[in-house]
Structure 1
Amino acid sequence: MATVTRENIGLLNDKITVKVSQEDYLPNFDKAVKQLSKTANIPGFRKGMVPVGMVKKMHGQAIFADEVLKTVEKELMGYIQNEKVEIFAQPLSLDKEARNFDINSPSEYNFDFEIGLKPAFEVTPLESGKTTLTRYKIKATPEMLNEEIERLQLRGGKSEEVEAISSENNVLGLNVVETDAQGTPVEGGLQKEVSFLVKNFSAATQKELQGKKKEDSIVVLASAAIDADKLVWFQHDVLGLHEDISAKYYKLTITKVELIEKRELNEEFFKEVFNAEEITTEAAFREKLQSEIEKSWDAESRNRLHNDLFEVLVHETPIELPKDFLKRWLQTGGEKPKTAEEADKEYPGFDHQLRWTLISDKLIRENQLDVSFDEVKEAAKQKVMGYFGGAAATDGADWLDSYLERLLQDEKFVDQTYREMVTQKLFDWAENKVNVKEEEVTAEEFAKLPNKHHHHEH
């Protein structure tokens, strides 16, 4: 009869030995041979009439080996399930060489496996009074407001394409590519198409651009190309980046040169920008726009707070991991084998994500922070409304319901939406478990804040 034994071989690292004898695998072997004899297509024999001896002669060795391994796997996984052993990934075989199974000499076999055990831990950073984080408040300055108004006026204005740059009022279509100082693209760096007003460049860069035409390009250092008071706006609103770009180089290739007649600040324009609002004066328009800009920065500030919380949880929650086992698993557990050197290089990022998975799973489970299908459905509805704007609501509920039904049959979409929602619910919950102080900063100061990342070896 099969036996399974277990012994500790290291930190959160055990060896499991599975011993199987003839009585464990031979009945299944005989059954598999008989089954194949009923379905095999072998020349000279009618289907279903192939003698068992012929099947054994032709396929017996492969079936024998397969049934031994199936029996071992069944005993191993049954033991882990019955003993409620919490393990990482899958057990790793400790057999260094392939086994030679002899159908003519069935015997007792021992198989050794190692497992990595999940640790018990407490999320100590969320203990009362243990952690203090900062929520930053960014107010929209008059300069930021004026720049956004001008951008909106230009976006809605009448444009005329011209041959070359001749004025600070030219609007450029630019292909922006992150490079080194020599203009060689940085691997994985930013590539983006943007529109940008010449007057928003620094005086020196404006001078360099004069006379440039479509297809011409220049390489610039961000902090030299755009003055400090506009750099954060360019980084955040134009490029959509959240990290400081002042020391980065970009190649700017001109794709279009336009001269645009700016829109007047009147009721028609205000209605186009905020179509759900009754705005009739420039003062009211500025007030509403300032509120929208600050909402955008509030969302950035909240993201930063949650990122800081993520780093604190991952780096300050004491969790021991079976590091050596996990590195060995990295070598063999993927689609293709890795070398020990490749596993070492990949491990820090893997370790970081694994810690977050353990922490988030524990917090979600223990605090019942799950998301229901009805909540996913409502979030999907809001996404659709966001995709199609007011048309989604005014074109009729039947269309919207039909579209939602198809969307909710997409497992990938549902899974992604669920993950986003449960993660957000987790951060909202955890935010209330730490001390949060508020600090007012400028957009420039916010953009240059260092990332909260603890550099130490686990």
Structure 2
Amino acid sequence: MKISVRNLEPTKVRLTITVEKDEFDPYLDAARKEIGKQVNVPGFRKGHVPGRIIDQRIGFASVAGEAVNSGVPELYSKALSEKELHAMAQPEIDVKEVPESANDDTKLKFTAEVEIRPQFELPELEGMEIEVAKPEVSDEDVDKRLDNLRQRFGTLVSVDRPAQKGDYASIDLEAVIDGKSADSQEGVSYELGSNTMLDGLDEALDGLSAGEETTFEGTLEAGEHQGEKAQIKVKVNSVKAEELPELNDDFAQEASEFDTLEELKADVRKQCEQDAEGRQATDARDAFIAKLEEDLDIPVPKGLKESMVEDQLKNANKDAKSASKEEKEEAEKTVEKELRDQMVLDALAEKLQVSVTQVDVTNFLASIAQQYGMDPSAFINAIVQNGQLASAVQEVGRSKGMLAGMRAVTFKDPDGKVLDLSRFLGEDEAQGEDVAEQDESVQAASAAAAVADQLTHAEETEVAEAED
């Protein structure tokens, strides 16, 4: 097989692949056997029709077409491997020449244009030191967690005064467009200051008492008139304030297994310290990746970047046309970092010769399925059927490579004290998955959500068809 490579861009190449006759013949023979299983030829048992008869009866063009469909992807992969190229996207294949008969000396020739990972040299890990900030826990952190605990045991009580930030109001809403009611809701419970509904709602409610109403202009966030401006009529039915229990020994006994408030506070501080250590491990991960990329100028594949930016905007309910310049720039910045991180971690996994087992991938997909409340077996089958298994393998490889790399360097705090991150990194590849799982979850979230949506839609369709 002859392979020539032409660089079209720093991250894009065109492969021209010419396949020798003896390399293409096995694909032709396999195609003849496959076709022979599907056709009936008088005088021959199904599946035992000689190849020359298949060529005569079915036509060599059909045989060659089947051989090209099955052979080109495999030959393309071999060409990538031989030239040590790492594809970042699906190739554009163009078949140029195909033999017209079994005796034709014409060689199979095709081109493949594909975006690739650019070449770069990772720094040596031996002797590398990375500084990570200390995990600080303040009295304010403890108080905040205690306040959150108090809120879990808080009660809402009606108040005879104007609504203010932090109150809960029961409201009726009506959206009016061109003098006609476009949407309405009644008895909605809303926390003032949460900014979880319509823009302008918090300002409109502030200062209103039960029984009062007002109108403001807002943009509808969902429904048939999503994105349209409307006059929003809002009426306050009631106002309730949150009443929190006092911080004392009685509260400690009610909210925990401790007898005194001091014991509860000590336990809360311990939890804060553990969380701080977790944040430090995450900071160490980010600092490690940043250190690897510190002196590298890594271009990103343009086509893949554009596609990912579109997906990023779509996830934010935007598109390339409606998004502002700032939103596009933010999406591009996010995507470029994600792509560079992925390419660096892929290169690191290869450098460290990380292997990914079936158990690794199964455990990873099962953990993602649990996060989405899905049956692990159904989720894994859906991933396979949707052709996303290779992406899952790649994500696991990146995470294992990252953990192995982090174990190979030294992390220190600003005072020069060596940090022990073994709780998060483990001592070998079979341990220490906390930090990696966070990264895997982020990378797999959109794919998992897409599969979950597809399965949910399929179930809804089955139910609807059964009802019909």
Query: TM-score, normalising length from structure 1?
Result: 0.50
TM-score computed with the length of structure 2 as normaliser: 0.49
Specify which structure has the bigger relative contact order, considering alpha-carbon pairs within 8 angstroms and separated by 6 or more residues. Answer: 1
Please say which structure displays the higher CA radius of gyration: 1
